[in-house]
Structures are given as C-alpha cells and as structure tokens.
Amino acid sequence: MARTRGSWTGGTLTARSLMKPQDVARAVFHPAWIPQPLDPSVERLKSFRVIAGAVTSLGVYTFVEGGFDLTELLENAMTASVVLLFLTPLTVGAMLWVWRRGGTVRQLRVPLLNSLKLLLLFVGCVASLLVLVQTVNGSANPIVIIGVGVTMMWMLIFTAYGAVRVSGNFFGTAATHRCLPPLLALVTSWLVAVPDLVTGDLHGLSLTLGVVFILGAPLTVTAIALLEMGRLKRRYGIRLKAHPATLAAMPGPVPPRAPTVPPGMPPHLPPQGNPYGNPYAPNRQQPYNPQFPYRG
C-alpha cells in the first residue's frame, strides 16, 4: 500500500496551533498517511472500541479504590506503552507470517515503518510527561514548579488527545491492513486483563466488581472488534488473513446525495438574483424590456 503524499501532518499545523495542544495532537497522532474511513458505521464501532479499550488501559478500579492519582495513572500508562512497544510488532509479525503466501514484506515496508514511528512517538510522549510530573512533585522551587508545570499541563492535554487518536487508528496500522487496528485492540485488551485473571488480583474490589472491571472491558472490545472485522469482510471483502497486496482497491468517499426535487419541479433551478446585475449602476444601460422598447 503506497504512502499518502504530503507531509506527516498534511500541512495543517501553524505557529498558532501550538496554543491548542488538542489540534497538535490531532495532526501528529492521526497523520495524513492514514487512510480515510470506509464506512460511518465502522467508525461508530471504532468509537465504542476506543471507549472499552480506555476502560481496560486506565483501569476503572483506580477511580473506585483509593481515589485518582495522576502519577500512578501515568506509571500504568507507561507500563502499558512499553508492553505495546513489544506487543504491536509481535502481533504484526505474526500476521506477516500468515500473509507470506500472498505477498512480501517489502511491499508493506513504508506503512509498517510509519506505524513504528508513530508508536515510538507516543511512547516517548508518555515517558516525557511522566518525567515532567515527577519533576513538579519532587521540586520545592516555585520557578521550576511554574515553568515545568505549564509545560506539563500542555503535554498532559497533548498526550491525552493523542491517546484517544492512537486508540482509534492503533498507530496507523490501518495503512497496512484495515483489520489490524481491531485485531491489535483485541489482543492488547486481553493481555492487560490476563495477569489479573491468573493471579486473582482484584485490586481490593469485591468478586463481582472485580469480574466486571477485569473481564467486562476485554469482552466488550472483543465483541466490537469481531463485529468490525466481520463488517469489513462482508461489505468490502477485506479479510484479515489476506495479504494487503491481494485486496482490491477501496472506492473513494461516497459523494453527498443531491437534494430531492419535489414532483412537478424542474431538476435544476435557474440562478437566483438579477442576471443583468444592477440596472441602475453608473454608466450602465438599462436591460431591454419588451413592454418598454424605447430606452430614452
């Protein structure tokens, strides 16, 4: 699959954009080379998958037990990011082995490298934010607290919006194969839940809440991911086991439907307004009127 022409951000960022970290995150973590969505219904499923994945990644039990701790949350996010740093290439590598009969890895080199860059960029942002938070918490210098604190708040908004973006496109892996984002979301959600299931660690919650919070999110992500991949297969013929080079080219965005014309009306209305302009403009002759042929 060829890379979309243009810069990483598509030329949408300006100096004024730095005042809005959410706009910078939207441009940086959803680059121009990521393909456009095929179907609004698939996008809605992706939104539900992102929400369920956030429940798994952040751990709702953190808010239920002991209150909210930003440092602990970032440490958990850093651990999850490091896991993704190894899990994502491993899962993609397994799919490359499955696709080996339909094409070569060389055909997918550009989108794979782009996805790896996006993954490394996000992990670096989480690590930087964690360092900033620890610096503010461990410093007694007001100047350091104010200066680093402003940067920390900007990075916090930037990384939070970036996390939502990469959860939806899963580091741009749709540029390699449309089924990779739901597959990676499925694998990641279960990998996060398995250690708690094996050790029986319910994080101080009751059995019922522990089962709901530990199993609820991965089961939801799994159902949505399978539904998403099934819809891609039925509607567009995109199968997970098929090498991307063997898939047919996807059609462009569907143009908006023309407005419905009422019965008895012509299909196209004439241009509105006076086609002759202003008849009383200076140095302009009045338009011919058959009722008054003499212009005087």
Predicted confidence band at 13 (pLDDT cuts at 50, 70, 90)? confident
The verdict on pTM exceeding 0.85 is no
| 53-92: pLDDT as tens digits | 666 555 554 554 555 567 777 777 787 788 888 889 999 9
Q: How many whole angstroms separate alpha carbon 210 and alpha carbon 116?
A: 34
| 253-288: pLDDT as tens digits | 444 455 555 555 555 444 444 444 444 444 545 544
Place of tokens 């086609």: 275
* CB atoms near residue 9 (< 10 Å): 15
pLDDT recorded at residue 238? 92
| DSSP letter (8 states) at residue 13 | -
Q: If we measure between CA atoms, which residue out of 188, 209, 190 comes closest to residue 198?
A: 190
With left for phi above 0 and alpha for psi between -120 and 50, is residue 35 left, alpha or beta?
Answer: beta
For residues 25 and 166, the answer to whether their CB atoms sit within 8 Å is no
H or E element, residue 205 = none
Continuous H helices in the chain: 21-29, 40-58, 61-64, 70-98, 109-138, 142-169, 180-199, 207-236
Q: Residue 39 corresponds to which tokens in the numbers above?
A: 């179907």
Is 261 or 97 the better-scoring residue by pLDDT? Answer: 97
Q: How many whole angstroms separate alpha carbon 55 and alpha carbon 52?
A: 5
Q: If we measure between CA atoms, which residue out of 187, 169, 178, 160 comes closest to residue 241?
A: 178
In sequence order, what are the residues at sequence separation of 6 or more whose Cβ sits closer than 8 angstroms to the Cβ of residue 95? 177, 180, 183, 240
pLDDT recorded at residue 169? 86
Looking at every residue in the chain, the average pLDDT score rounds to: 77
| 113-148: pLDDT as tens digits | 999 999 999 999 999 998 998 898 888 888 888 989
* CB atoms near residue 35 (< 10 Å): 15
3-state secondary structure of 172: coil
Which residue type does 193 have?
Answer: A
